[in-house]
Amino acid sequence: MCLATIPLGKRPRGIKVSPDSTQLFVALSGSPPAPPGTDESTLPPPDREADGIGIVDIASQERVNLVRAGTDPEQVAVSADGLRLYVANEDAGVASVVDIASGDVLASLEVGGEPEGVRISPDGSVVYVTSEEDNQVSVIDTAANEVIAQFEVGARPRASAFAPSGDRAYVTAENSATVHVIDTTVHEVVHTIQLTGEMVRPMGVVVSPDSSVVYVTTGRGRSVIAIDAMTYEPVASVEVGTRPWGIAITRDGRYLYTANGPSNDVSVVDTESMSVVATVPVGERPWGVAIIE
């Protein structure tokens, strides 16, 4: 069941929990939605005052601050020490490094057109940022706040996830229906998994705690696909809500949660049976999902 609804601001998308589980960080955007093929000259002007990362106090269930990053922030990641945010700003084409306490932008890094997915490696040394427009991933060194590498992937990369073991990462590419396996020691693609099926478009991705299974939401495919991380073969799938996008996995790996936009709900998937065990109605067009444990 839905326990609370918290007013945030315009167009909330990416969401992350602070390491101490006391705060939520939510990417808020004043840019109007523009699906592929939209004539942007017909859209209303963006509200730049609405752009930022909303900070929510979990105990009081209130937004307590808004920190600025770039224009049209889409996804956000938080460092393991809880001091910094890494923000993908879609319209600006940059990734921002933000000091949470002061709200200062410490760096703005060019990462290609329409950056979206942001993930921090398990050891905190690098951040991966996907670029939908340029079909690439930028690698940010968190100590130097510099882009140290870029590599190409499939068409319209959406998200990435690191294996907890740290030696592999996975990048979803929506339009090519591919999942790319990355050797994180050299930041190179070592394998490409081609997914098949009607309307399968890889979107969100998470990895099981033991690094053995990769779970991918398929957008218009309305499903979650489980991929064996050793063989790179899909081993199971389950139908969830309409156009699942964001996905999260519990610390023990037992359950997945998917945000299903057009059906306005969240699916809870038991990973042992790969079946939906609950469907939770939420607000209009949920995009991201995060777990507080």
Token digits for 178?
Answer: 């591919």
Q: Are residues 251 and 212 in the same domain?
A: yes
Smallest CA-to-CA distance from 33 within 13, 17, 53, 19 is with: 13
Q: Which domain holds residue 78?
A: 1-32+48-152
Residue 106 near residue 143 (C-beta atoms within 8 A): no
pLDDT band for position 37 (cuts 50, 70, 90): confident
Q: Each residue of 28-61: b (16+ CB within 10 Å) or e?
A: bbbbbeeeeeeeeeeeeebeeebbbbbbbebeee
Count other C-beta atoms under 10 Å from residue 205's C-beta.
Answer: 23
Q: Are residues 168 and 276 in the same domain?
A: yes
Is pLDDT at 16 greater than 80 in this prediction? yes
pLDDT band for position 59 (cuts 50, 70, 90): very high
Is pLDDT at 109 greater than 90 in this prediction? yes
In a domain, 43, yes or no: no
Q: In whole angstroms, what is the distance from residue 189 CA to residue 170 CA? A: 9
> 197-236: per-residue pLDDT in tens?
989 999 999 999 999 999 999 999 999 999 999 999 999 9
Q: Tell me, yes or no, if the pTM score tops 0.85.
A: yes
Strands 136-141 and 146-152: antiparallel
For residue 173, the model assigns a pLDDT of 99
Q: Are residues 120 and 191 in the same domain?
A: no
pLDDT band for position 66 (cuts 50, 70, 90): very high
For residue 41, the model assigns a pLDDT of 76
pLDDT band for position 7 (cuts 50, 70, 90): very high
Residue 190 near residue 181 (C-beta atoms within 8 A): yes
Q: In whole angstroms, what is the distance from residue 98 CA to residue 77 CA? A: 10
Of the candidates 97, 123, 152, which is a domain's last residue? 152
Token digits for 278?
Answer: 């609950």
Q: Which residues make beta-bridge pairs with 258?
A: 247, 267
For residue 265, give the CATH number of its domain. 2.130.10.10
Rounded average pLDDT over 168-196: 98
Considering only 42-46, 156-160, 281-285, which range has the smallest mean pLDDT? 42-46
Q: Are residues 120 and 265 in the same domain?
A: no
Q: Are residues 105 and 186 in the same domain?
A: no
Q: Which residues make beta-bridge pairs with 205?
A: 216
For residue 1, the model assigns a pLDDT of 83
Q: In whole angstroms, what is the distance from residue 6 CA to residue 62 CA? A: 6
> 122-172: per-residue pLDDT in tens?
999 999 999 999 999 999 999 999 999 999 999 999 999 999 999 999 999
For residue 52, the model assigns a pLDDT of 97
